[in-house]
Amino acid sequence: MTSGGTIRVLIADDQQMVRQGFTVLLDAHPGIEVVGQAVDGLDAIVQVAELDPDVVLMDIRMPDVGGIEATRRITLKHPAIKVLVLTTFDLDEYVYDALRAGASGFLLKDASADQLAEAVRVVAAGDALLAPGITRKLIAEFSRLDDTPRSPLKERVGDLTERETEVLTLIAQGLSNAEIARHLVVAEQTVKTHVGRILVKLGLRDLTQAAVFAYESGLVRPAGY
């Protein structure tokens, strides 16, 4: 972010009208500035290196280098940058792969201007799941599709304390820091401390990735499976 706290956004979409529309909508909100537009995944990768945005709005389906591969490359090289995936359908199968690739959340393309701005702020902050109900459903679904816990991930859960494991489980259930605090009957700042330690120990960038980890490691199982 800039010194004044402005969230810098890069929009990556192969449709010019989408790029321009989102630019107009976001620039109208205080504290958010669109610093660039990319026409495909490769262009996004190049512009991220040049512009250093805080958040990338990434379309999944683009020619040549698509949104998933671009997300993987960007989050690997620039872990502090958050990627918000744009999709047409809330159960788009590619969203599973995007979350695995490092995306911090997703947003439907028909979202309102206020929803778009709020999503950018939430992802930039990294302190809450984006659309927890739907995100949780997505995480549960790709966990169902690949329901064999990965041993290395399962072993890393052992690095957490009992309370940190409990907090991670609640994160995966879609609870916010405030909701976790009420559930555990502790101060919200205490929860934030636990969350910070969890992210550091597991090498994760935000709560969405923590939820993904909880499912993929087998710590949390999708309801009904």
- The pLDDT profile of the chain, 225 residues, written as one tens digit per residue, is 654 589 999 999 999 998 999 999 999 999 999 999 999 999 999 999 999 999 999 998 888 888 899 999 999 999 889 999 887 766 556 777 788 888 888 788 888 888 889 889 988 887 655 555 555 666 666 556 555 556 566 677 878 999 999 999 998 887 888 889 999 999 999 999 999 999 999 988 888 888 888 887 888 776 544
Helix (H) or strand (E) holding 108: strand 105-108
Domain, as residue range, for 204 = 149-216
Q: Is residue 25 domain-resident?
A: yes
In a domain? residue 75: yes
Instruction: Output the DSSP codes for 24-56.
Output: HHHHTSTTEEEEEEESSHHHHHHHHHHH--SEE
The CATH number of residue 81's host domain is 3.40.50.2300
- pLDDT for 209: 83
Residues 44, 78, single domain; the answer is yes
Two tokens, residue 146: 């690949």
In the numeric block, the tokens 């788009």 are attached to 92
**Per-residue pLDDT at 225:** 42
CATH number for position 162:
1.10.10.10
What stretches of the chain adopt beta strand conformation (E)?
A: 7-12, 32-38, 55-59, 82-87, 105-108
Q: How many domains does the chain divide into? A: 2
Domain-located, residue 91: yes
Predicted pLDDT at 11: 96
In a domain, 12, yes or no: yes
Query: How far apart are alpha carbons 127 and 210 in whole angstroms?
Result: 11
Which pLDDT score, from 0 to 100, does residue 89 have? 65
